[in-house]
Amino acid sequence: MDKSWQVVCIYLLTHMGLIFFLYPANIISSTDEAHWIPIFTGVLFHILVVCLYLKGLSFFPGKDIIQIYTKAKAGTLLKIFFLLPIFAYFIMAIIISIRAYSEIITIVFLSNTPLWAIMLLLLVITCYMAIKGVETIFRTGIVIAYLFLPLIIFVMVFSFQNVDWNYIYPVWNSDFSFIKKQDFLNSFFAIGGGYLFLGFVQPYFSYQKKKVFLAIALVVPSFFLSVYVPILTYGQATSSTFFFPFVMTLDAINITWLMFDRVTIFFLLSLITFIMLFLSLVMWKAVRIAHTFIPVARPSFLVIFFTCSIFITCLFIPNWSDVEMLFSWNTFLRFYVLITVPISLLCIGLLSKKGGEHGV
């Protein structure tokens, strides 16, 4: 069954949930001017790896990356060198996301709620949806899109209320030292965090590859808006002092005819639902990989086990500086997965085509 539009929807929602919170601060901290250059660099990298990923998958219609790696001639080695790092990356992504977004919720509108309670709520919802499976996650994504995407578009339009276009200058910077900065490397958490699900859903349903590029085209403006709206509102010097620049920009919006005082809350609630969708999808993928290594364990038990383990781990992360340290520690694993997985799939596909068999 073709579910291309559902894939487009999930691709858009999960990336938007990742972009508007942490990504702006990372980019603004990575350079003092011409922010479009690091943004464009990341977007170009994103498009490149997705193209390689889809090209590699196209050699194996109807198969996911687990089947591709495990059924190759060197299946055991491929599982160790690729599936295990992917699994570790997924678990780290869940831990970082749960801890980071719980902190954001606490700071913005639930200051009196214990942090552990927010983390537990996010994990329980993630656990439930992961147990229900990918079909439920995708159907939920469609409902969320109908409910919240119009609100997101509305907020984005009014986010330009206080912009000063003079802040866009200078538009060029010949200093490319941002590439070596940790803040720029951390921004790839949003750039490369959401596309890997494309290689896990093929046994369940099909999708048209060209629709994925439509999803990318819809996502790309979010990268630029999330950074340039705060820059154009407050300027580089002030925006660089904010933990969540885009959120602070929304706080400055004043819509006199709207019955609600703060549109920020509605925007954040929308993004939190996107994040829960992303987390449930990542948990489902992690459990699928774990089940490959431990086939005797029921997937539902694995979900519950990982949920409890992640919750306990999050409790041992005391403050925001430790969250940032986790981002730094995860840099090598993040780039290892983002670079080697698409390239390895492409190589396996080319070799299988040359040798007339799905193997290496």
* pLDDT value for 36: 92
Q: Which two tokens stand for residue 126?
A: 């993630």
Model-wide pTM > 0.85:
yes
- Do the Cβ atoms of 3 and 149 come closer than 8 Å? no
**Beta bridge partners of residue 206, listed in sequence order:** 2
How far apart (Å, rounded) are the C-alpha atoms in residues 269 and 109? 10
pLDDT per residue, tens digit, the chain (360 aa), is 778 888 889 999 999 888 888 899 899 999 888 889 999 999 999 999 999 999 999 888 888 899 888 876 666 788 888 899 999 999 999 998 898 888 888 877 777 888 899 999 999 999 999 999 888 999 999 999 888 888 888 888 888 888 888 888 888 888 888 888 888 898 888 887 688 898 898 888 888 888 889 999 999 999 999 999 999 988 888 888 888 888 888 777 776 666 555 667 778 888 889 999 999 999 999 999 999 989 898 999 999 999 999 999 999 888 888 888 888 888 888 899 999 999 999 988 888 777 655 444
Gyration radius of the chain over CA positions: 20
Q: Phi and psi of 206, rounded to 5°?
A: -105, 165
Phi, psi of 296 (to 5 degrees): -75, -20
What CATH number does the domain located at 4-355 have? 1.20.1740.10
Place of tokens 């000063």: 164
Residue 190, judged by CB atoms within 10 A of its CB (0-12, 13-18, 19+), counts as buried
Q: Which of 292, 270, 301, 326 is nearest to 95 (CA)?
A: 326
* pLDDT given for residue 228 in this prediction: 92
